[in-house]
């Protein structure tokens, strides 16, 4: 700390992480009950205060790593939330981040340690402070980006069926998609590759498994679906 700006009031800055997963054809949100005052016992997103030696992305990634045990997650800043009365405990400005994970990659032991649970987005309860607003802004951001960024693959396993991919889109957009047109568009995207493997678990007749070729996308990062 320096001697500068001593005449100004100091504020607290936090990050709140909006973690989405996808399971059973539903978009899910990771929430828990607050373990501190104010708002103890209320459903809440998971977050933390920004350290003196941290950038905002560093703080968000630290929180997510502590929360999930996972690194290199898809993460995007949603926005800043600074209403004067948003936190009854102190004057806190929060920066919200959205993260996408494959539910199967998340160790349930870590989730239970934090007292967290997955809830269907459509059944989201009342959350602490302005966290519902954060979640709604995050889903609107995903809806704007999903057709121009390959973000949906972060919610899926490495190998997936086209039906699973379509259901991810439908879960995020909140509407049904025409199957024939969807698959027709998928065939025009070079970095969504069909493998020789077949899924016989979720499909009785056996459905072809596909994968997202990240290297091919990075060589030519043009995506429009």
Q: Tens digit of pLDDT for each residue in 65-97? A: 999 999 889 999 999 999 999 998 899 999 999
Residue 1 clears pLDDT 60, i.e. is over it: no
DSSP per residue, 85-100: TS-TTS-EEEEEEEEE
Phi, psi angles (nearest 5°) of residue 79: 160, 175
* Alpha carbon distance 125, 199 (integer Å): 35
Contact 146, 173 (CB under 8 A): yes
Residue 142's nearest CA partner among 104, 105, 169 is: 169
Residues ≥6 apart with Cβ < 8 Å to 223: 148, 149, 150, 189, 217
Residue 67's nearest CA partner among 23, 5, 20, 131 is: 20
Q: Which residues pair with 4 in a beta bridge?
A: none
Residues 96-109, mean pLDDT to the nearest whole number: 94
Residue 203 clears pLDDT 80, i.e. is over it: no
Q: pLDDT confidence of 224, banded at 50, 70, 90? A: confident
Residue 48 clears pLDDT 80, i.e. is over it: yes
Residues 111-120, mean pLDDT to the nearest whole number: 94
Q: With a threshold of 0.75, does the pTM exceed it?
A: yes
Residues 8-35, mean pLDDT to the nearest whole number: 94
Residue 170 clears pLDDT 80, i.e. is over it: yes
Phi, psi angles (nearest 5°) of residue 210: -120, 165
Share of the chain above pLDDT 70, in %: 98
140: exposed, middle or buried (Cβ count in 10 Å: 0-12, 13-18, 19+): exposed
What integer best gives the mean pLDDT of the chain?
92
Residues ≥6 apart with Cβ < 8 Å to 155: 20, 21, 22, 27, 100, 101, 102, 168
Residue 127's nearest CA partner among 173, 84, 100, 94 is: 94
């Amino acid at each position: 700390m320096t001697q500068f700006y001593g005449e100004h009031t100091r504020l607290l800055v936090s990050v709140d992480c909006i973690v989405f997963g996808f399971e059973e054809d539903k978009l899910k949100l990771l929430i828990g009950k607050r373990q501190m005052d104010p708002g103890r016992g209320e459903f809440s997103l998971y977050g933390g205060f920004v350290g003196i030696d941290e950038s905002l992305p560093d703080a968000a990634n630290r929180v997510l790593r502590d929360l999930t045990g996972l690194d290199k997650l898809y993460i995007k800043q949603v926005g800043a939330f600074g209403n004067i009365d948003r936190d009854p405990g102190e004057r806190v400005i929060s920066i919200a981040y959205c993260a996408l994970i494959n539910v199967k990659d998340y160790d349930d032991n870590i989730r239970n340690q934090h007292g967290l649970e997955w809830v269907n987005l459509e059944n989201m309860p009342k959350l602490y402070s302005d966290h519902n607003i954060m979640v709604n802004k995050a889903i609107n951001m995903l809806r704007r980006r999903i057709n121009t960024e390959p973000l949906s693959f972060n919610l899926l396993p490495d190998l997936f069926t086209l039906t699973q991919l379509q259901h991810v889109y439908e879960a995020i957009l909140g509407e049904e998609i025409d199957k024939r047109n969807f698959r027709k568009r998928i065939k025009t995207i070079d970095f969504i590759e069909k493998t020789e493997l077949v899924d016989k678990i979720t499909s009785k007749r056996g459905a072809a498994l596909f994968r997202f070729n990240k290297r091919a996308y990075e060589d030519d990062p043009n995506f429009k679906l």
